[in-house]
Structure 1
Amino acid sequence: MRTCVEVVCAIILPPVGVIIRYGCAVEFWIALLLTLFGYIPGIIYALYVILRETS
């Protein structure tokens, strides 16, 4: 259930999905930077970071 919430947050606002899982770690800052440069790269990175541990 937690992963579903993280994925939905990652699609709506990518840094929020990452911060739920990792806190204010380097993954969050990368997601924030990619989201500022382009919404789609931020989503792709956030989904990758969230789903790489669950599979």
Structure 2
Amino acid sequence: MSIADKAKNKAEELAGKAKEAMGSATDDKDLENEGRGEQAKSNLKDAGEKVKDTFRD
């Protein structure tokens, strides 16, 4: 996995965490769920990159 991909996935995960926290603080369930979705998407991308790395080696 390239360092750029790792950084992009981590930034997406952190943005998701921020949205989730903001939604929780303001009682905005839509924003909270959007943040959780972004985190899940980032984790899936990370897992896919790890699988690709396994098969490359």
Q: TM-score range by the shorter chain?
A: 0.3 to 0.5
Q: Specify the structure having the higher radius of gyration (Cα).
A: 2
Richer in helix (by share): 2
RCO higher in structure (CA 8 A, sep ≥6): 2
- TM-score normalised over the length of structure 2: 0.44
